[in-house]
Structure formats: C-alpha cells, structure tokens
Amino acid sequence: MNHSTALRRSAALVALALLALLPACADRARERFEGAEKALLRQEMDAALAGFRSIPKEFPQSRYSPAALLRQGDLYGSYYRNYDAALEAYDSLVYNFPQVAEAPQAILRKGEIHLLQFFSYAKAVEELEHLRSRYPGFGKMDEALVLLAKAYGGLSDPSRQAEALAELLERHPGSPRAMEARWMQASALLGQERYSEADRAFRKILFLAPDKKSAARARWGLAQAMEGEGDYTGALEQYEAIRDDWEDPGYVTEKIGRLRKRMKDSQ
C-alpha cells in the first residue's frame, strides 16, 4: 500500500467516525434541551438557564442551538431583567444562524428591548427595519410594525410612523394589533392637528369598537377632532353621548359646560 492510498483510507476512517458521532451528539443536545425545558416548566429558572447556555457551547452545530439561544435570551430578558445578556444571546443567534426560523424572532426581541427598556428609538428602528427588509414573510410582522411605529414616534418622525401603521392596516387587517394601530394613527393625526383625517379615523374606530368603553374613547377622540374643525355642535353631541359611560362623568360634565360657554361667546 503506497503512502497516498494510506492517507485516503485514514481520511475515510476519520470521516466515518465523525458521522457515527453525529447522531450521538444530536441525541445529547436534544436531551439537554428537553431537560432545560422541563426545568423551565418546573420554574427552576437557574437550572433551565444553565441547560440552555450549555447547548451552543457544547453542541454548536446542533439544530437545538438556535432554539437554546432564543430561550436563553428570553430568560435573561423576561425573568432576570438582564437586558444586556439577552441582547448578547440574540446577537449570537442571528450572527451564527441567520437562516433559521428563530432568527427573525430574535431580531424582534432585540427591537423590543431597545424600544421599551433602553428607550433607544434609533437602535430599535435599526433592528426592526432590518427585520422588515430581511424577513418580509415573518409571521409576527404585525407586531414588528407596531413597535416600529412607536419607535418612529419616539424619533418624532410622523411620516415614517404613518407609513408603518398604514402597512400594518393594509397587509394585516385581521391582526389583533390592527386596532392598536388604528388608535395610534388617530391619536397621531389629532396631535398633528389634522382634524378632518382624525375625524375619519376615530369614526372608523367607533364603527369597529368591541365594547362600550372603547366606543366612549372613540367618541371622545371624535369630539376633540370636531372641536378642532370648529364643529362645536357635533362635538357637544359626542360628549353628551358618553356622559354616563366615561370613567369620570364629572369631567365630561365640566367639558360640556366649557364648550357651551365657548359656543355662546362665539355667537
């Protein structure tokens, strides 16, 4: 047997040995992941975290590593309130496994932390816009768009906020986030003194309102828009309609009194 033949045979034997090890490694990674999940269900958070952290270190190529990194980030963020550690876990997931299903979920979590915990609106926009462009078919894009709209609101960028809300309402009209988007849209229009547009937006919410409390809130917004437009009679009718349904009826009564005085003075 010549030297080159011996080398090829040796390489083949090593490859076969590695292939034989793969199922065993996969089984150990799965067992470790399932054990951490069980610890999580038992509310043994330290044990669960230790289990999830060990998987990417000991089995970096395992299909359980991305899920373990996601769980690790979620535990750091939601239970330990260690947001820097959570971001580190999510970053590792996205960097090492950009093609897996957990990657866009990790980016969403990163955007949420930057927005709601660090109030870093620019960083939240950066993450969420990356999610929007890189993973357009992500199943939770409606949630991402609501967060993106809030981040643009924090940056005082009404045009981009409106764009994000419009995309949500156009592409995800049946989403549970759609009503939240309508409230944000209507309130933003009112704050920008775009009263006629706010009027239409609050009327849409009133039509879709699921309960009396939501309807009362929509009527209040509608009344505010009508006041801005100079329609005091219409605004007065809306305030009168919610007098008994508002959480503070006395405040509504005072508002009605002030508006009636305003109408009288303007005559």
Over residues 33-50, the pLDDT tens digits come to 999 999 999 999 999 999
Q: Which CATH class is domain 30-100?
A: mainly alpha
Separation of alpha carbons 73 and 93, rounded Å: 9
* Distance between CA atoms of residues 264 and 267, nearest Å: 5
Indicate the domain borders of the chain: 30-100
Dig out the tokens for 96 from the structure: 């090492």
How far apart CA 259 and CA 98 sit, in angstroms, is 58
- Residue-level pLDDT at 196: 97
What pLDDT score does 5 carry?
A: 55
Gap between the Cα atoms of 30 and 55, Å rounded: 9
- Structure confidence by residue, pLDDT tens digits, 168-211: 999 999 999 999 999 999 999 999 999 999 999 999 999 999 99
Burial class of 240 by CB neighbour count within 10 A (0 to 12, 13 to 18, 19+): middle
Give how far Cα 77 sits from Cα of 32, 56, 113, 118, 130, Å.
Answer: 21, 18, 8, 12, 21
Closest CA to 201 of 216, 214, 215, 185: 185
**46 phi and psi, to 5 degrees?**
-65, -45
